[in-house]
Each structure stands twice: as structure tokens, then as C-alpha cells.
């Protein structure tokens, strides 16, 4: 006959179970707390944008009448400039009218497809407009990207530097485009996921993330040389294995570009339409002309030392982030430095030689996340400097959001 458990043994078992549950809950909170702090820092920066955009829409006139408007709500003020193009692609697909010979013949093929495609799918599934779907996809991607950014930074530099890195990136003026209807949040998400996988030496999944990043923005292709470097560091003593893995990983990491080229070839008969169409956006300059001008440093010949407008600050942020990239290489890792420098040099070499010069570099620099980690690593023991940088960034972020809400150029 089985003996029934005594009251004392039942009480002890219940006590142990309760203690185990409390221990498990405590461990969960210890692990999740820093992620909550990172998310709180990011959301505080979004509050700056929301308040500033509402003030801008109430106090500033529209830059120009009869501009595209996605709706009357406050969040519609985050759908400006490129958002109009992305919304059109998501709603009606791409259109291409041949190589442009008119600077007013702007064409949508310059925008890579993954962001408008995901927005179109979400719009169809949810029943909201394609324009509003852009905001949902961008903002959800930005939330996950910021959590991954904290994880990647903490892996190499610890919790203090990681939280400070999140603060610098979150309040950076260019982070406005993490909340607008732009592709940068999705690109940043895939890039950071790729780096998180590389930290675990999972090369194939990281290569797939590179392919998704490249399908969102051309800058995503910069993850490919980082993969090549990491593979070389691991397999340099096994040349055959290195070559085979490198070929597979580079094919996957560049897939976003060559699949888009295949689509353009089949649809419009012009695989390089996305590159050729850029000429209309840059004063009908050819890719070769822009590259030549960039290599001869012509964008710096027109450096505007007294221009403190948004476009004037682009040049200063470009230099700051280039310096941060060098520091990332020296203080963090070659992979961080290579990627950060690469995402800055790609638009510099392909676009900045045109009439716009260094314009938009603040937005492009948003993807140079290692530069923010390097900056945090330098400033971590100087509280006053950290507060000053975040405060300066936050002020500019508010100004950018107010101007952007009414179609003033801060892109």
C-alpha cells in the first residue's frame, strides 16, 4: 500500500517550487532589465520626434503647397520625401521609362524592393493604406534593431558602453529616419542580425541576412566584405574550405542586389536600371563622373564652414562618423571598422561626386553603428561629455523632426 505524503513533505516541496519560481523570475528580470533600459532610451528619443513633429506641423507652414499628403493624422507628418516614392511602389509597383535625359525624369527603380514589398504585404493583410504600412514596418523594424544593437554592442564592450551606444544612436539627428517611412530601419535590422550571427560564427545565416539587407538598401552589400574577412580569420589555414565557403556566403550576401537586377532585366530589359536612373537624381551625372569627382575629393572643395542648415551639417557628420569608423577599427574590431567605413564610402563614391555633394550623409551615416559604439567607448568615463552629446543630438533631432514634418529638407 502506498504511503500518502506527510503534510511536512508537501509543504517542503511547495516551498522549494516557490523558491525555484522566484529564482527563475529573478533571473529573467536580471537578463531582461538592460534590454528594457535600452528600449526605454530609444522610446524617449521617439518622444522627442513626436512632440517636435506636432509642434512643426502646428507652427510651420508647408514648404510648398500641393505636396503629397498621406492623411491628416500626426503620424502622417513622418511620411515625407522618399516615403512618397516607397508608398507608390508599395501600391502600384515599379515604373521605368528608360535611361533619363531630363533631370526632372525621376524614376522609382532607384529604390530597392524589400521595404515596399513587405509594406505592401502588410497593407493587404491588415487593410490599412500602403503609406501607413510603411510606418508600421519601419517602426517595428527599428524597435527590434535597437534591441539587437544593444546585444551586439554589449557582446564586445559590456553593458555600460552598450547602453551609451544606444543613447547616442537613438538621439542622433539621423535617427529621425528610424521612425519615418524610410528603408533604413529594415536595413539596420538585417545588418545587426547579421553581426549578431557572426558573433556566434554562424556564417550562412549571417549571409542570408546580408542578402535581405542588400535587398532593402544598396548599403546592405557592405556586409559581404565583412563576411569575407571573418571567414578568412577562421579558415585562412584551410584555403580550399575558405574559398568554397566564401563563394557560397558572398553569393547569398549579394543576392539582394543580383535578384533585383534579374527582376529589372526581365521586367524592363535593363538590369542596371537602378544605377542608371540615379543620374536624374544627381543632375544627369553618370556613375563614372560621380566616382571620378569623389576620388579627386571635389565634394570637399565646396565645404561650407558657415552653413549650419541640415544639409550643411551633413558634411560635419560625415567627417565625425568617418573618424568614428577609424576608432571602431582601432578600438573594437576590424569587422566593425570595415563595415562602418564601407557604409559611408559607398554613397560617397557613388553619389557625392554629383551636384548634391555630401548631402544626406547624416541619414546614410545612421547605418554606421560601430562609430557610435566607438564614441561611447571613448566617452563612457566622462559623464558630462555623454550628457552634452546626447543633449546636442536631441536638440538637433527635434529641429529635424519639426522641419521634416512640413516637408523642409533634412534628408
- pLDDT, one tens digit per residue, over 291-335 is 999 999 999 988 887 888 888 899 999 999 999 999 999 999 999
- pLDDT above 90 covers a percentage of the chain that reads 85
Q: Report the interhelical angle of 383-405 vs 7-59 (nearest 10°).
A: 60
**pTM across the whole model:** 0.92
pLDDT confidence of residue 306: 84
- In eight-state DSSP terms, residue 286 is -
The whole-angstrom distance between residue 194's C-alpha and the CA centroid of its chain comes to 13
CB within 8 Å of 136: residues ≥ 6 apart = 119, 122, 126, 128
Q: What is the pLDDT of residue 156?
A: 82
- Residue 407 is given by DSSP the state T
Lowest mean pLDDT among 100-104, 119-123, 345-349, 355-359: 100-104
- Cell 584555403, residue located: 239
Any idea of the CA torsion for 103, 106, 112, 117, to the nearest 10 degrees?
Answer: 180
pLDDT higher than 50, residue 231: yes
Residue 356 and residue 116: Cα distance in Å, rounded?
25
Rounded distance between C-alpha atoms, residue 242 and residue 238, angstroms:
6
Q: Does the pLDDT value for residue 3 go beyond 80? A: no
Spell out the alpha helix ranges (H) of 128-238.
Answer: 130-157, 159-171, 184-198, 203-216, 223-235
Tell which residue, 87, 61, 312, has the closest CA to residue 183. Answer: 87
For 262, other C-beta atoms within 10 Å of its C-beta total 12
Amino acid at each position: 500500500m502506498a504511503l500518502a505524503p506527510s503534510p511536512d513533505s508537501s509543504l517542503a516541496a511547495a516551498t522549494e517550487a516557490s523558491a525555484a519560481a522566484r529564482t527563475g523570475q529573478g533571473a529573467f528580470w536580471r537578463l531582461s532589465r538592460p534590454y528594457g533600459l535600452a528600449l526605454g532610451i530609444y522610446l524617449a528619443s521617439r518622444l522627442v520626434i513626436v512632440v517636435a513633429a506636432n509642434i512643426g506641423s502646428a507652427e510651420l507652414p508647408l514648404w510648398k503647397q500641393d505636396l503629397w499628403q498621406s492623411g491628416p493624422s500626426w503620424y502622417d507628418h513622418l511620411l515625407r520625401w522618399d516615403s512618397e516614392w516607397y508608398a507608390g511602389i508599395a501600391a502600384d509597383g515599379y515604373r521605368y521609362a528608360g535611361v533619363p535625359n531630363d533631370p526632372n525624369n525621376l524614376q522609382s527603380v532607384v529604390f530597392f524592393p524589400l521595404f515596399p514589398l513587405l509594406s505592401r504585404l502588410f497593407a493587404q493583410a491588415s487593410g490599412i493604406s500602403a503609406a501607413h504600412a510603411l510606418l508600421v514596418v519601419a517602426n517595428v523594424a527599428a524597435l527590434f534593431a535597437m534591441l539587437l544593437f544593444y546585444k551586439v554592442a554589449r557582446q564586445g564592450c559590456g553593458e555600460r558602453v552598450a547602453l551609451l551606444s544606444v543613447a547616442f544612436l537613438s538621439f542622433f539627428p539621423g535617427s529621425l529616419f528610424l521612425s519615418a517611412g524610410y528603408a533604413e530601419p529594415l536595413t539596420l535590422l538585417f545588418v545587426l542580425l547579421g553581426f549578431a550571427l557572426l558573433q556566434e560564427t554562424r556564417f550562412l545565416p549571417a549571409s542570408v541576412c546580408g542578402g535581405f539587407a542588400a535587398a532593402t538598401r544598396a548599403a546592405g552589400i557592405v556586409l559581404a566584405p565583412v563576411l569575407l574577412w571573418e571567414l578568412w580569420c577562421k579558415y585562412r589555414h584551410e584555403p580550399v574550405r575558405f574559398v568554397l565557403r566564401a563563394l557560397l556566403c558572398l553569393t547569398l550576401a549579394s543576392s539582394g542586389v543580383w535578384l533585383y537586377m534579374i527582376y529589372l532585366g526581365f521586367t524592363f530589359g535593363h538590369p542596371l536600371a537602378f544605377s542608371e536612373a540615379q543620374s536624374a537624381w544627381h543632375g544627369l551625372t553618370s556613375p563614372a563622373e560621380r566616382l571620378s569627382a569623389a576620388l579627386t575629393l571635389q565634394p570637399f572643395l565646396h565645404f561650407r564652414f558657415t552653413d549650419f542648415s541640415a544639409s550643411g551639417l551633413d558634411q560635419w557628420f560625415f567627417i565625425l562618423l568617418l573618424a568614428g569608423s577609424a576608432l571602431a577599427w582601432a578600438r573594437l574590431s576590424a569587422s566593425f571598422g570595415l563595415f562602418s567605413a564601407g557604409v559611408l564610402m559607398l554613397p560617397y563614391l557613388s553619389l557625392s561626386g554629383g551636384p548634391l555633394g555630401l548631402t544626406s550623409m547624416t541619414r546614410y551615416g545612421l547605418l554606421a553603428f560601430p562609430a557610435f559604439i566607438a564614441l561611447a567607448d571613448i566617452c563612457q568615463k566622462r559623464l558630462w561629455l555623454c550628457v552634452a552629446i546626447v543633449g546636442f543630438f536631441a536638440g538637433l533631432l527635434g529641429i529635424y523632426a519639426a522641419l521634416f514634418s512640413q516637408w523642409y529638407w533634412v534628408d
